[in-house]
Amino acid sequence: MKSDGWKNGFRKTGFGKNRFAGGMNPLVISAAALIAGLLAYLIGIPPLHRIELDTVDLRFKIRGERPARPEVVLAVVDEKSIAREGKWIWPRAKMAALVNRLSEAGARVIAFDIGFFESDENDTRVIQALDQVADRIDRLDNPPAGIKDYLARLKSEADQDRLLAEAIRNSTAEVVLGYFFHTRLDHPEAMAEPLVAYHRENIAGSEYRIARIGPDAASAPILKGILPQSNIRPISEATRYAGHFNMEPDRDGVVRFIPTAIFFRDHLYAPFSLIAAAAYLDQPLSIEVNRDGVVSEKIGSKDLPVNRFGQMEVNYRGRERSFPHVPVTDILRGEASPDLLRDKLILVGVTAIGVYDLRVTPFENNFPGLEIHANVVDNVLSGEFLRRPEWMPAADMAAILFSVVLLGFVLPRIGAGTGTLITAGLAGAYLLLVQYLFSARGLLLNLVYPLFMMLVMYIAITIYGYFLETRQKRFIRNAFSHYLAPAVVERLIESPESLVLGGEERVITAFFSDLQGFTSVAESMKPALLVELLNEFLTEMTDIIHRYEGTVDKFEGDAIIAFFGAPNTLKDHGRIACLAAVDMQKRLAVLRRNWRDQGRPDLRMRVGICTGPAVVGNMGSKNRMDYTMIGDTVNTASRLEGLNKLYGIEMLISETTARAAEGTVVMREVDAISAVGKRKPVTVYQIMGYPEDVDAPVREGIRYYEEGLGAYRSRNWNEALAFFQKALERIPDDGPALEMSERCRDYRITPPEDDWHGVFTARRK
C-alpha cells in the first residue's frame, strides 16, 4: 500500500513520466540498494573492512587519551637501567633481586613480560668450571680440608635459575610468568612427544581452571597453538600463574585485539594480561566454548567482551607512557618511591630502544608490547571495555536500513541542493552518533557500511532525478512554502486539488504557548534586539514542532499556535505533542543559559495542550486562506495555557491528552477546574518531564500531592494541607501545592457548598 501511494504521489505531481528502462523508480532503487547493502554487510567486503578498522583507529585519536588506572605500574628495563646495570640480557640473580625488592615494597602482583626459556648462560659456564675444579681436587691425594664443601656452596650460589625460582617462591606478591605459543611450524609432526609434555606441564598455570568445553569445540574458530615455548622447569614450578603473550595483529599490522584463549591439546589457555588481572583481583578466570566459538568469558562475575573467535578489543588509554614507568635500576638500588609500588600490579618488561618488542597501535607505530598488556589489565580493572554487544549487528543493519529507506523516500521529493545537505547532515549525524557511542560508552557501531550506503543512495537518486519532470512540484513549493507549514506544502504537492475552501472534522491535539511576562521584556529592550531574540526563540521552537511532524498554525506575537494530527496522520498525536512540549522546554532552558551569558533576559514559556475533535482545513477567503483549526478543543487548549499562571507552572494538559501520553512522560493530576467560558469542568494535568529527568524527591512529592488531592476532594482540609506541605518539602516552591494549601486554609474558614465536588471555578483566563 505504501509503495503504491509513493508512486501515485509522483504521478499526481508530474513525476514518473520519464523513467529508466525497465521501470526503474526510487522504490526499486531503494530496494536494490538495501538488499545489496545488507548482503555486503553480512558477507563482508575486505576493502571496506580494512577501512572500518582505520575508522576505529581514527575514533581513538578523536576521543583522545584517557587517564589510566593507578593500580598498574611498569617496571621497565630502559636506557637508564642498561647504562647502570649492564648490557641486556641480565643474569637471573638480578631478576631475583628485583622480585625481592618488589616483594619487600609491598607489590601485590609481579608480572614478567620476559621469558626465561633457557638456563642462564652464566650458570652453565660457572658450574662447568666448578665441576672441573672439583674433578681435579678428587684426584689429589691430600685435598685441603673443607674445600669440597666450599666448592659445593659456590656451585649452589652460582645456580642463578635456582635463585630466581626461590625468589619467586618466597615472594609475598603473586608472580606471573609469560610464555608464547608457536601457532605456525613448518614440520609440526616432527615434535617429540616428551618435549610437548614438558612444555605443557610448565604452562599449567595458564590453563583456564573453569572451562565448559562443548562437543566439537576443537573445530571452533579459535586460535590453535602448535607448541608452547615455556619457561624452564625450576622457574615454572615456582609460581601457579602463567599466561601466553601471543598477539595477532590485523593485516595492516595494527594490534587491535588480543587472543584471550588458545586451544592446545583440547585445553584452553589464557593470556598473560588476563592472568595478571585475575591474580590481582584474586578472582578465577572462566570460559565457555562450543563449536561456534567462545560463548562467554569472565573474571569472577565480571563479563569480558570477547567475540566468538576468542578476541578482545583493546581499549587503549593513549600513547606510550600512559602508565607510570619506573626504571628497574631505581628499584634495585632502592631509589624508587615505595608508594609507587605498594599494593600495585607491577608489569616488568623491556622498553629500551633497540631491545624492546615494537608494536603498532591505533595511537602510534612504535609502541612497547609491554604497554599493550598494561592496557588490557587496565580495561579489566576499570571495566571500561570496547564492546560489540550481541545486538550490535542488528543495530548496524538497522542503520543501513534506516539510511536507505530515509534517503530513498526523501531525496526524490526535494531539490539537489537540499538533498546534498540532508545526505551530508545524515552522514554527519551518524558520524557523531558513532563517535559518541565510542567515546562515552565504548560501543563499536559499524561506520563504513551505513556511510557507503548513504553515498550509494545519494548518487543513485541524484542520477535518477535528472530523468524526472519536476516543474509542477517546484512551482507549488515556491508558491506556498512562504506561508504554509511544510507538512501542508507536501500535502498540496501530492494533492493540488485540495486547494479549495472548507475543512474536515478530525481528532487532533491543539497546542498553545505563550511567553511569561513578555510585555515587560519587550518594553525593556530595543526593537532590533527584541526582534532578534524573538526570532531565535520562535525558530528553535518551530523546529521542534516540525521535528515531531506538528503543524504551526500561526504566531501571535510571542505566542505559538500549533496542532498535531493534521494534515498528516499521526497515530499518537497526543503523546507526540507532549514529547514536543518537553523538548521545547528543555531547549528553552539551554537558550536561557546562552542568553544569560549574553546579558539577555530570561524567557519562560507556558504551554496548554488538549486532544479532541476539531475542524481543520483551508479557511479564509478566495484570495487568502490559511490551513487552521477551530472548535472547543482549540478553545480548551488556549484556556489551559492561561491557567498555568494560576498554579505557577509551565505545562498543563487535558485529561484526554494525559491518557494518550501515559507512560511516556511523568505527569500528575493537578485539579478539576471550570475554566472561563467553559461549562463542563476539565481535569488538568501537569507534565513534569521525561522519566529520566524526574528524581526521587520529586516523585515522592508527586505522591504526596496526589494523596493531598484525594483528601482535598473528600473535604478533609487538615489532612490535605499536611500532604501538600509534605509535597512542598520534596518540591520547594511547588506552585500547585502552594495554591492547594492556600485553598485548604480558606476552606477551613469558609467551606464550599454542600454540592461541591472538588471543581474549582477560575475567575480569569
For 77-138, the DSSP string reads: E-HHHHHHH-SSSPPHHHHHHHHHHHHHTT-SEEEE-S---S--HHHHHHHHHHHHHHHHHH
Contacts 24+ apart (CB under 8 A), 134-142: none
HSE, CB side, 13 Å, CA atoms: give it for residue 444.
Answer: 23
Domain for residue 513, yes or no?
yes
Q: What is the separation, in whole angstroms, between the first and last Cα of the chain?
A: 47
Q: Are 53 and 82 contained in the same domain?
A: no
Residue tagged 613448518 (cell numbers): 186
Q: Are 40 and 86 contained in the same domain?
A: no
φ and ψ at residue 90, rounded to 5 degrees: -85, 160
Q: Which residues pair with 360 in a beta bridge?
A: 254
List the one residue out of 128, 26, 9 whose CA is nearest residue 457: 26
CB of 718 closer than 8 Å to CB of 748 = yes
Q: What is the mean pLDDT of the chain?
A: 86
Domain for residue 477, yes or no?
no
Q: Are 463 and 506 contained in the same domain?
A: no
Q: What pLDDT is recorded for position 372? A: 95
CB of 359 closer than 8 Å to CB of 346 = no
Q: Are 428 and 571 contained in the same domain?
A: no
Domain for residue 493, yes or no?
no
Q: What pLDDT is recorded for position 483? A: 38
Q: Identify the DSSP state of 724.
A: H
719, amino acid identity: E
Q: Identify the DSSP state of 302.
A: E
φ and ψ at residue 337, rounded to 5 degrees: -65, 125
β pairing state of 227-229 and 109-112? unpaired
Rounded CA-CA distance 518/523 in Å is 9
Q: Are 434 and 331 contained in the same domain?
A: no
Q: Are 142 and 193 contained in the same domain?
A: yes
Rounded CA-CA distance 683/636 in Å is 11
Q: Identify the DSSP state of 18.
A: S
Residue tagged 500500500 (cell numbers): 1
Q: What pLDDT is recorded for position 562? A: 93
Q: What pLDDT is recorded for position 148? A: 58
Q: What pLDDT is recorded for position 646? A: 93
CB of 181 closer than 8 Å to CB of 267 = no
Cell numbers standing for residue 364: 602510534
Q: Are 340 and 356 contained in the same domain?
A: yes
φ and ψ at residue 601, rounded to 5 degrees: -75, 155
Rounded CA-CA distance 337/328 in Å is 12
β pairing state of 358-359 and 257-259? unpaired
Rounded CA-CA distance 686/641 in Å is 11
CA angle 593, 436, 580 (to 5 degrees): 50
Rounded CA-CA distance 9/490 in Å is 10
Q: Are 619 and 507 contained in the same domain?
A: yes
List the one residue out of 692, 701, 696, 700 whose CA is nearest residue 734: 701
Q: Are 187 and 268 contained in the same domain?
A: yes
b (16+ CB within 10 A) / e for 65-88: eeebbebbbbbbbbeebbeebeee
Rounded CA-CA distance 317/379 in Å is 9
List the one residue out of 608, 688, 680, 677 whose CA is nearest residue 646: 608
10-residue mean pLDDT profile of the chain (765 residues): values are: 35 34 64 86 88 93 93 96 92 94 96 90 58 63 62 61 93 96 71 86 91 88 91 94 93 93 92 96 95 94 93 94 95 94 96 84 91 96 91 90 88 81 92 94 92 87 66 52 58 58 83 91 87 92 90 89 87 95 96 91 94 87 75 94 94 96 95 77 94 95 96 95 95 94 94 89 68
Rounded CA-CA distance 126/46 in Å is 56
Q: Identify the DSSP state of 179.
A: E
Q: What pLDDT is recorded for position 107? A: 97
SS3 465: helix
Q: Are 402 and 378 contained in the same domain?
A: no
| CATH number of the CATH domain containing 575 | 3.30.70.1230
Domain for residue 481, yes or no?
no
What is the dihedral sign for C-alpha 548, 554, 559, 565? negative
Torsion of CA 290, 291, 294, 297, to 10 degrees: 10
Q: Crossing angle of helices 735-749/632-647, nearest 10°?
A: 80
Rounded CA-CA distance 250/258 in Å is 10
Q: Where are the beta strands (DSSP E) in 260-366?
A: 262-264, 267-269, 285-290, 293-299, 302-303, 311-313, 325-327, 345-350, 358-359
Question: Would you list the DSSP string of 356-425?
Answer: S-EEB-SS-SSEEHHHHHHHHHHHHHHT---B--TTHHHHHHHHHHHHHHHHHHHGGGS-HHHHHHHHHH
Residue tagged 471543581 (cell numbers): 759
| Domain housing 301 | 72-382
Bond prior to 749 in cis (omega within 30° of 0)? no
Residue tagged 505522591 (cell numbers): 703
Helices and strands (H, E) in the chain, number of each type: 26, 26
Q: Are 615 and 583 contained in the same domain?
A: yes
Torsion of CA 137, 139, 145, 148, to 10 degrees: 50
Bond prior to 601 in cis (omega within 30° of 0)? no
Cell numbers standing for residue 222: 579459535
Total domains present in the chain: 4
Residue tagged 479549495 (cell numbers): 500
Segment (H or E) for 475: helix 471-480
β pairing state of 605-620 and 109-112? unpaired
Q: Which residues pair with 257 in a beta bridge?
A: 313
Rounded CA-CA distance 284/301 in Å is 9
CB of 292 closer than 8 Å to CB of 340 = no
Rounded CA-CA distance 371/376 in Å is 9
Rounded CA-CA distance 740/758 in Å is 11
- 270 burial type by CB count under 10 A (0-12 exposed, 13-18 middle, 19+ buried): buried
Rounded CA-CA distance 658/688 in Å is 12
SS3 510: strand
Q: Are 232 and 154 contained in the same domain?
A: yes
CB of 264 closer than 8 Å to CB of 197 = no
From 469, 492, 512, the end of a domain falls on 469
From 347, 382, 417, the end of a domain falls on 382
Domain for residue 484, yes or no?
no
Domain for residue 667, yes or no?
yes
Domain for residue 326, yes or no?
yes
Rounded CA-CA distance 611/492 in Å is 25
Domain for residue 119, yes or no?
yes
List the one residue out of 239, 283, 243 whose CA is nearest residue 259: 243
